[in-house]
Every structure is written in C-alpha cells, then in structure tokens.
Amino acid sequence: MNGIICKEGVAFRRRFAQGTMFSLFRIAAVINGAALLVVVYFLVARGWRAINWTFLSQPPMDSMSKGGILPCIVGTLCLSIGAIAVALPIGVASAIYLNEYARPGRSVRIIRLGINNLAGVPSVVFGLFGLAFFVVYLEMGVSILAGSLTLGAMTLPVIIGSTEEALRAVPDTYREASLGLGATKWQTIYRVVLPAALPGILTGTILGLSRAAGETAPIMFTAAVFYTPSLPTSIFDEIMALPYHIYVLATAGTEIEATRPLQYGTALVLIVLVLGLNLIAIIYRSRLRKKR
Amino acid sequence: MKIKGIAVPAFIVAALFTVNTAWAGSIVIKGSTTVLPIAQKVSEVYMKQNPDIKISISGGGSGNGMKALIDGSTDIADSSRFIKSKEVSLAVKNGIYPVPFAVAYDCIVPVLHPTNAIVNITMAQLKDIYMGKVKNWKEIGGPDRPVVVISRDTSSGTYEVWHKKVMKKERVFPGALLQASNGAVSQAVAKNKNAIGYIGLGYMSKDVKALMVNRIVGSADTTLDGTYPISRPLYMFTPGWPKGDVLNFINFVLNPEKGQKYVSEAGYVPLY
Amino acid sequence: MSKSKQTGKGRQKREKSIRIVFFGVALASITTLFLIALFLFMEGIPIFKDVTVIDFVFGKYWYPTDDPPAFGIFPLILASIAVTVVSSAISIPLGVLTALYLSEGASASVREWVKPVVELLAALPSVVIGFFGMVIVAPVLQETLNIPTGLNLFNASLMLAFMSIPTICSLSEDAIFSVPVELKEASLALGATRWETIARVIFPASISGICTAVILGMSRAMGETMVVLMVAGGATMIPTSLFDPVRPMPASIAAEMAEAPFQGEHYYALFATAIILFLFTLAFNVIAEQISHRYRQVGAATL
C-alpha cells in the first residue's frame, strides 16, 4: 500500500511506534506498582485478623499457636537500634572524610571500592562472617551484640551513601563563608556543614533502620533463636526477631498450619514497620528537596 | 550541642543494658527440631512454675545441638540421634564429657497428601521411592500422578535414622526436595497432592495422611514394643553431669508425673 | 576556648589529627570487607585438604553428611546461575522500561507517586517476599500449570525479580537522568519524536549506567538468601526444566549452617561455598564498576 511509505504514512508509523513504546513503559510501571499492591493486599487481608493488643503485647504461648510476638518486636527494635548505633558514627565519619577531607587519588578510590563492594556482599555471607568473627572468634556468643555488629556492617553503605548525598547538598558558600570568618575546617564541619546536612542524615538513618529491621540471614546465626519468651536484659542475650520469627513459623515451626494466621500477622507487623519507616523517610526527603 | 544531648542518655541506656542479671537462672537449649516441641512445651510449663528461670530454645537440627555442646554454647543439646564418635572426640578435646538422657521415643511416619489413596507401603517401596526409582504413583498401586519426594537436610537427626533404617545407607537421590525441619516437610506434603515425606510422630496433623509400614501403624504402642520398623529414642545431652537449674529441668522432663505428661501431649511416646 | 586552641600551631596540629582520625574511620568499610574475605577463606580453605578445588566446584553430588561425604557444588552453582538468568530476563525489561517511563514518559505529578512505589517495593523485606512466594504463589503455580511442585526455579526467579527490579530501575533512572539535556533537545530540534530520541540518543548515551544497574541487579539476585531458601524447592539437582526444584548456593548455606558440626568438614564446605558465592558477587561488582568508569559519558560533545 502506498500509504505506509508516503510522507503521511511515515509520520503515522513513527507516531504509532511512539505510542506503542510509551504504552509499554506505562505497562511496566503499572506491573511494578501492582506487584507491591498485591503483596501488601494479601498480607493485610489475611493478617489483620491476627492483630490485636494481645498479639502485640504478649509472648508466644502454647507452642506458638497462641499468644503474641512481643519478644520479636522488642528483639527487632534492639537489633535495628544496635545496628544504627554501630553504623551511624562510622558511616557519618567515613562520609565526612570522603566528602570534606579527601583529595582525589588512590586512597579515595580504595575506600570507595570498599564501600561499593561491601554493599554488594550477599546477606548470608554477612551472616557467616558474623558467626565466624563476632560469635566465635571474639567470643561474643549468639547475642544482641553480635547481631547488631553484623547488621551494622550491612547497613554501613546505606548510611555512607545518604550522608554523602546530604553533605554534597550543603552549598559550598556555607563552607566558604565559615572559613572566611576564620574557622578551621573541623569547626566548619562541626558547626556549619553537619547541622545543615542533619535532615539528610536523618533520612538515611531511617532507611538504615528499616533495612536492618527486615534482614533475616545476618541474624540467623548471630542473634536470633527459635523461642525465648522473656525479654532481653543484657546485650549478651539471645533474642527473637520479627523476620526470623516469620521464617521459623513458616518453615520450622511445630504447628505450621495452625500458626498460619500468626505468620501473616507477624509479616503484616513487619511490613507496617518497614514500609512505615520508608514512607516517613521518603516524605521527609521530598519535603526537604522542595524546600531547596 | 544536639549530639551531646543524645550521647549522655544513650550511654546510660547502653550501660544499663550491659549489666548481666546474674541472679536469675537461665538455661540454653539447642538442637533437634524433632525434640523441639517437647522442649518447648515442657519449658513453658517449667517457666510458669519457676518464674525466675529463663529458658531459650533454638532449633537447627541435631548437628547444631551437638556443635553447641562441643563449643560450650548450650546447656542442653536436643538430639534425635545418638552422639557420633567424631563428636564425642571433639567434645572430649574441649574438655566436655557429653551425658545422654533419653527423654522420649519417637517413630518416623511416612506421610502422604490426604487425597492419595495408598494406605500401606513396604520398606522396600519406601527405599525405591527415595532412591528415585519410582516416578509415578501408579507404579505402586496409587493414582496416576508424578512422585514428588520430600526429604530432610542431610544433617538432620531424623534423616539419619531414615537413612539408616529405610535407605540402608543408600543415598537419597538428588531430585528430592530437602526441607529444613519436620514442620517444613509436613507443610510441603500437605500442600502437594503428589508428595511423600517423613515426619516425627509429634508432627502428625490432619493435613497429612500417615502410611502404615509393612501393615503396622506407627503409634506409641508399636514404637515401645519395637514392632514399628522406623523408631528411635530422643535424647537430651548435657555437658557433663547436670547441676543446679539444668539438673532440675532434666529431672522435670524425665518425671512421669510432670515432664513425661507433656511428652505425650506433644504427640510423642513417653518413656513409660 | 583557651588561647592555644585558637592560634597557629596548636590549631593546625589539632586539625591534622582530626583529619587522620576521620581517615582511619573511613577505612572501616574496606577493613570490614577485608575481614569478611579473610574469615571466609580461613574457615573455608580447610575443606580443600579433603577435596580438590576442581572436584568441589565441578562435582555433581552434594552429600555432605554421608560416609564418605561428597562435596560437589556444581548443582548449587548452576542453580544460582539459572535463577539469576531467569529472574534477570524478567527484571531487566521491567526495570529499564519503568526507568525510561519515570524519566522520559511520565509527567511530574505521576512521577511523584510512582517513584515512591518503586522505592517501597525495594523496602520489602526478603523474608516477606519469600513467605509470599511460598504460601500464595506456589500453590497457584502448582494448580494452574499442573506441575509436580510450586516450589521451583520459576517461582524463585519471579520472586527474585521483585527484589532486583527496584535496584535496576533506580540506578537506570539515575543514568538516564544524567544524560545532558542538550542531547535531548538537539535530537528533538532535528525533528525526532520523543520515542526516537529515547531509542537513538538517550538510551545509547546512558547505556553504561544501565549496564551497571543491570549487573548490580543480577548480583543482588544471585546473593539473595531468604527468597531462594523458602521458595526454590531445595533439591540438589541440576535443573532440566524451568519448573524443577533447585537449591542455589545461598539457600544451601543458610539451611545447613545451623546443623553443621562446628569446624567439621561440612562446616568448612559451607564456608567454601560462601567463598565461591562471594567471588561471584565480587566479580559482578568489579565488572559493573569497570563499565561505569570506562564508558562514562563525559560532556555532551563526546557522543
């Protein structure tokens, strides 16, 4: 047909191609959104019935088929806070060095290599490392301490990345003004740059918290156990944790079918925690960006 | 500055956390997932009667329990098999002399999905299935469905007994789906109408169907009188003769009026 | 503040020492990486006293508790590769297309809420996705496709794609975003449609960034543990069909680690498996870094 190759035909073909491709884009994005919604929907639909005050405030009872997940919630909180306590100082200091002090050269490349590769290490390898190093070699035993250190190592790249982004966003004019007034570099960082970057660092901390709360493999061998209904009293205690609890209830529990609603409930609590933290960080960050 | 304001209270909280409460007793139990329901049930009752004792239980398999016993990180090791000579020598090298206590009996029951019509199976057929020689259920008189074989990870005590008594030390074929615990096997079989698996008696539920082996039903009686071919004692090992809290707990478990009552409640075969 | 802290030499010395302290702390990440490698090797090398490297990597049978034990992880390695390849086949198109949509095809208001959705997808804990795959997707797969088991290679790849798509998408989006706007404007000024601009100008310009994103996504899929542990099936066989149950390396390590007698052969073998896994992901990361460095788009005039 003449229509396809004449001028109007070519124009039609190009518009058609564009329309198709852009529809494909939209379909891809919709699939992504749908994936998230499907997972959340199923968890909410099958899990909300399990959520009540008993569930959130009682330890598991009767071979875990009744009762609640209080020790898991407490354990997860301890571990995430512990992880941040480890990763935040080291991460912020590393980011400060990379962004404020370092001169481009070999040492910076090596450090960045370390960070990027650390970010790519599989979570089970972190777990094995935590086992071999913290639990056995440093003799911490299976404990909150070992688990926090392992999770802290995992969260370090997240903290470094977001802190660097926050530091970079502080305009150089701030630094120049401060130095111009006679302050030393450290004083500038401590009193001018860091406070300005604090909101961004906070965002990164929240993201790091959520990441640490959701990880299972690093704590499997270093901190979490199947059943210890009493709350931890020292950092050398073993604890239960939300992600590990889901795993054991679903695969290693003694009454898997009976505890199914509890599994959904625990998963729901976990994603509420994790997605909630992420939402807070996302909203906070977009507000920050708008302010600038 | 802001940072200082947070640092001081954080330090105090951290210091509080590191204070080890030395006066409350604590018992650490690790090991077999088969013994786990017993340990958990008994511990719940024990902790209610002795509120100042804190018990923490992990699963992970008999091998895990033995490992923890050897490196001294547990007070009691649950095991669904006897300790191996290699483990004994490793323990003795570390200065630990493992003491076994038989706390219950168990039989391993092959299970099918409830819709699978087969009710009896011979030991030879079990072995063939697990070696991968039987591909379809109709070959042994069942429905026309593919056979999906479910087994345990090779370091499980349950697997070891199966390996010794059913497989006669032959290897399970690589196409078997290996699960991490009795619970996982039970769940996998319950969800799959083509599957066969094996679980400890304590994990029997209405979601799976137990098979008779050589026309003998696996139960407390047939286990105790030895007629059921796949049964074994369940153990708790302690590093050396137990003392104090651990001794009290072990005595509680072995007591026919106390711990053993919960053994049968958990679905296992008590010692008496 | 006392006078000596404010003036000359004392001040300079303090600054210098502060700088050194920061440098020391910054070394923490590379030190940790080094320690990880060190301990992996320390606890993994002893197995090679009993098994040669070739036999270990290419051996077809994994029976670590047999007497005598067989330590061949070839089925595990193949399973990892298979699962990575299949999940990438799903996640690369979805991730890159979504990234293109976000940076070129969407209006600002749509972007505002699609981007957070993708980020939230990234935030889903792996155990929750594994749980979802095991409890909801597996029975559905088994019923509708009439296959022996729903816990298989395909299910695992599908769930893994869930996890890699956000990585690929956000990194690709960054790459596409950083293409200089002059290139886009020039192309449009010459009469190209938006799609043609994307296909022939923007995409080639950001290809290195997209490749980096893809490789990092694949690295994530290979290293992911909980999803494959709960969903891939756990059979130590070499997969012959898309619906065979498999046992990728991380799943094997996680499942067996708790049961391996401490510093026994099985323990060493699992650490050795972790070494292989670590080397794979390290290789992915190094390749990604090389690509992003060498083929970086610098300035608008070099296309």
Alpha-carbon distance C31 to A115, whole Å?
10
A10 interface with C at CB cutoff 8 Å: no
Kindly determine whether residue C235 and residue B160, on different chains, have CB atoms separated by under 8 Å. no
Q: Flag whether pLDDT at C1 surpasses 60.
A: no
B52 inside 8 A of chain A by CB: no
State the Cα torsion C52-C56-C59-C63 to the nearest 10°.
110
Q: Is the pLDDT of residue A153 over 80?
A: yes
CB-based contact B140:B153 (threshold 8 Å) = no
Whether C237 and B146 lie within 8 Å, measured CB to CB: no
CA separation (Å) from B155 to B60, B160, C23, C65?
9, 7, 46, 6
**pLDDT (0 to 100) of residue B179:** 82
CB contact under 8 A, C123 and A214: yes
The confidence score (pLDDT) of residue A292 equals 61
State the smallest CA–CA distance between residue B272 and chain A in angstroms.
24
Return the closest-CA partner of residue A144 out of A223, A242, A70: A223
Report CB contact under 8 Å: C225, A124: yes
Chain A hits for C284, Cβ within 8 Å = 120
Q: Which of residues 111-130 of A touch C (CB under 8 A)?
A: 111, 113-118, 120-129
Buried b (16+ CB within 10 A) or exposed e, B21-43: eeeeebbbbbbbbbbbbbbbbbb
Mean pLDDT for B21-45 is: 79
Nearest-CB residue to C259 (from B63, B148, B175): B63
Chain C adjacent subunits, 3+ CB pairs under 8 A: A, B
Q: Specify which residues B76 forms β-bridges with.
A: B29
Interatomic CA distance for residues B179 and B186, integer angstroms: 10
Position A58 scores a pLDDT of 79
> Hey, of B12, B33, B46, B56, which one would you mutate to test binding to chain A, going by the most A CBs within 10 A of its CB?
B56
Cβ contact, residue pair B192, C61, below 8 Å:
no
Q: How much is the average pLDDT of B232-245?
A: 89
**pLDDT score recorded for residue C303:** 43
- Name the pLDDT band for A137 (thresholds 50, 70, 90): confident
A232 touches chain C (CB under 8 A): no
B173 vs chain A: nearest CA distance in angstroms?
22
Contacts of A141 in chain B (CB under 8 A): 73
**Given a cut of 50, is residue A246 above it in pLDDT?**
yes
pLDDT value, residue B244: 87
Q: Which is more confidently placed, C110 or C268?
A: C268
Secondary structure (H, E, C), A71-109: HHHHHHHHHHHHHHHHHHHHHHHHHHHHHHHCCCCHHHH
* A228 close to B (CB below 8 A): yes
Q: Cβ of B70 and C261 within 8 Å?
A: yes
The predicted pLDDT at position C83 comes to 93
User: Which phi-psi region, left, alpha or beta, contains residue A215 (left: φ > 0; alpha: ψ -120 to 50)?
Assistant: beta
Instruction: Check: CB of residue C196 under 8 Å from CB of residue A18.
Output: yes
pLDDT in tens, A162-209: 899 889 888 889 889 988 998 888 888 888 888 888 888 998 899 899
Q: Which helix H or strand E contains B51, and what residues bound it?
A: none
Contact call for residues B29 and B58 (beta carbons, < 8 A): yes
Residue A86 in this model has a pLDDT that exceeds 90: yes
Q: Is A22 on the interface with C (CB under 8 A)?
A: yes
Residue of B nearest to C147 (CA): B146
Residue entry with tokens 């070839």: C74
Q: Which of C33, C94, C120 sits opposite A278 (nearest CB)?
A: C120
pLDDT score of C6 more than 70: no
> What is the DSSP secondary structure assignment for residue B58, as one 8-state letter?
E
CB-nearest partner of A254 from B37, B55, B190:
B37
Neighbours of C297 (CB within 10 A): 18
Interchain proximity C149–B194, CB inside 8 Å: yes
- CA atoms of A115 and A120, how far apart (whole Å): 9
Tens of pLDDT, residue by residue over A22-39, are 888 888 888 888 888 999
Q: What is the dihedral of CA A71, A72, A77, A82, to 10 degrees?
A: 90
pTM reported for the whole predicted model? 0.85
- Residue A213 CB neighbours (<10 A): 22
Q: How far apart (Å, rounded) are the C-alpha atoms in residues A286 and C201?
A: 30
| Contacts of A among chains (3+ CB pairs under 8 A) | B, C
The rounded percent of chain B whose pLDDT value lies above 70 is 90
Q: If pLDDT is split at 50, 70 and 90, which confidence band does A11 have?
A: confident
Nearest to A228 among B33, B57, B182 (CB): B57
When the pLDDT of each residue in chain A is averaged and rounded to a whole number, the result is: 86
Contacts of A42 in chain C (CB under 8 A): 132, 136
Average pLDDT over residues C38-66: 86
Percent of chain A with pLDDT over 70: 95
Mean pLDDT of chain B: 82
By three-state DSSP, how is residue B146 classified?
A: strand
Say whether the ipTM exceeds 0.95: no
The neighbouring-strand residues paired with B148 are B195
The whole-angstrom distance between C25's CA and the closest CA on chain B is 18
A136 touches chain B (CB under 8 A): yes
Contacts of C281 in chain A (CB under 8 A): 120-122, 125
Residue C223: list chain A partners with CB under 8 A: 120-125
Q: How far is the C-alpha of A52 from the C-alpha of A40, rounded, in Å?
A: 19
Provide the terminal-to-terminal Cα distance of chain C, rounded to the nearest Å: 56
| Distances, alpha carbon A90 to alpha carbons A108, A147, B35, in Å | 16, 17, 43
Q: What is the mean pLDDT of residues A7-22?
A: 80
CA atoms of A135 and A221, how far apart (whole Å):
8
B64 reaches A (C-beta below 8 A): no
Q: Which of B55, B183, B205 sits opposite A251 (nearest CB)?
A: B183
8 Å CB contact of B10 and A136: no
Mean pLDDT of C45-64: 86
* pLDDT band at residue A113 using 50, 70 and 90 as cut-offs: confident
**Which of A92, A141, A201, A82 is closest to B13 using CA atoms?**
A82
C-alpha C260/C-alpha A131 separation (Å) is 13
Bridge-based pairing state of the strands B209-210 and B98-112: antiparallel
Q: Which residues contact C33 (CB under 8 A, 6 or more apart)?
A: A114, A117, A118, A121
pLDDT value at residue B1: 42
pLDDT beyond 70 at B10: no
Distance from CA of B56 to the nearest CA of A (A): 4
SS3 label, residue B32: coil
Q: Which of A256, A259, A260, A263 to mutate to test the interface with B (most CBs of B within 10 A)?
A: A256
Q: Does B261 touch chain A (CB under 8 A)?
A: no
Task: For chain C, say whether A134 makes contact (Cβ under 8 Å).
Answer: no
**Chain B: residue nearest A223 by CA?**
B58
Share of chain A above pLDDT 90, in %: 26
Provide the pLDDT confidence category of residue B19 given band limits of 50, 70 and 90. very low
pLDDT value at position B2? Answer: 47
Distance (Å, whole) CA C192 – CA C183: 12
Does the pLDDT value for residue B170 go beyond 70? yes
Query: What is the band of B267 on the pLDDT scale with cuts at 50, 70, 90?
Result: confident
What are B59-108's pLDDT values in tens digits?
767 777 888 888 788 899 998 888 888 888 888 888 889 999 998 888 88
Q: Which residues of B touch C241 (CB under 8 A)?
A: none
**SS3 (DSSP) at C71:** strand
| Token duo for residue C150 | 């729903």
* pLDDT attached to residue A2: 54
Residue in chain B nearest A59 by alpha carbon: B44
What is residue A232's DSSP assignment? P
**Contact (CB<8Å) B194/C236:** no
Q: Which chains touch B (3 or more CB pairs under 8 A)?
A: A, C
Strand ranges in chain A using DSSP code E only, listed in sequence order? 60-61, 66-67
Residues 248-287 of A with CB under 8 A from C: 250-251, 260, 263, 267, 270-271, 274-275, 278-279, 282, 286
Contact B205 A248 (CB under 8 A): no
Calculate how close chain C gets to A63, using CA atoms only, in Å: 20
Residue range C173-230, pLDDT digits in tens? 888 888 888 888 888 898 888 888 888 888 888 888 888 889 989 998 999 999 998 8
Query: DSSP code of C190?
Result: T
CA distance readout (Å), A255 to A121, C122, C291:
34, 31, 50
The chain-wide mean pLDDT, for chain C, equals 85
| Per-residue pLDDT at C129 | 93
- The predicted structure's pLDDT at residue C194: 81
Where residue B9 falls among pLDDT bands split at 50, 70, 90? low
Q: Is A121 near chain B, with CB under 8 Å?
A: no
**Number of neighbouring beta carbons within 10 Å of residue B166:** 21
Terminal-to-terminal C-alpha distance of chain B: 69
Chain-chain contact of A257 with B205 (C-beta, under 8 angstroms) = yes
User: What distance, in Å, lies between the first and last C-alpha atoms of chain A?
Assistant: 56
Measured CA to CA, the distance from residue A184 to residue A112 in angstroms comes to 26
Q: Is the bond preceding residue B37 a cis peptide, omega within 30 degrees?
A: no
Q: Are C171 and C212 in contact (CB under 8 A)?
A: yes
Tens digits of residue pLDDT in C226-272:
999 889 888 888 888 888 889 999 998 988 887 676 677 888 899 99
| Nearest beta carbon to residue C28 from set A31, A90, A126 | A90
Say if strands B231-239 and B98-112 run parallel, antiparallel, or are unpaired. antiparallel
Instruction: Say whether pLDDT at C86 is over 90.
Output: yes
Do C235 and B71 count as a contact with CB atoms less than 8 A apart? no
| Residue among C194, C257, C284 whose CB faces A120 most closely | C284
As a whole number of angstroms, the distance between CA B173 and CA C292 comes to 45
CB contact under 8 A, C63 and B160: no
**pLDDT confidence tier of residue C89, bands split at 50, 70 and 90:** very high
Reported as a pLDDT band with limits 50, 70 and 90, residue B243 is: confident
Measured in angstroms, the CA of A228 and the nearest CA of chain C are apart by 18
Residue C296 has a pLDDT of 61
Cα separation of C221 and C209, whole Å? 18
Confidence at residue B11, expressed as pLDDT on a 0 to 100 scale: 53
Residues 6+ apart with CB under 8 A from A226: A240, A248, A252, B36, B57, B58, B59, B60
pLDDT at A136 over 90: no
Instruction: List, in order, residues 6 or more apart from B264 with CB less than 8 Å away.
Output: B220, B270
Residue C235 carries which DSSP code? B
Q: Which of B29, B33, B34, B40 to mutate to test the interface with A (most CBs of A within 10 A)?
A: B40
What pLDDT does C112 receive? 80
Residue C52's φ and ψ, nearest 5 degrees, are -75, 160
Crossing angle of helices A260-291 and A70-96, rounded to 10° = 30
The answer, for C127 touching chain B at a CB cutoff of 8 Å, is no
Structure tokens at C279: 């080397």
pLDDT at residue number B238: 92
A199-202 LR contacts (CB < 8 Å, sep 24+): A199/A166, A199/A284, A199/A288, A200/A162, A200/A163, A200/A165, A200/A166, A200/A167, A200/A169, A200/A285, A200/A288, A201/A92, A201/A162, A201/A163, A201/A166, A202/A284
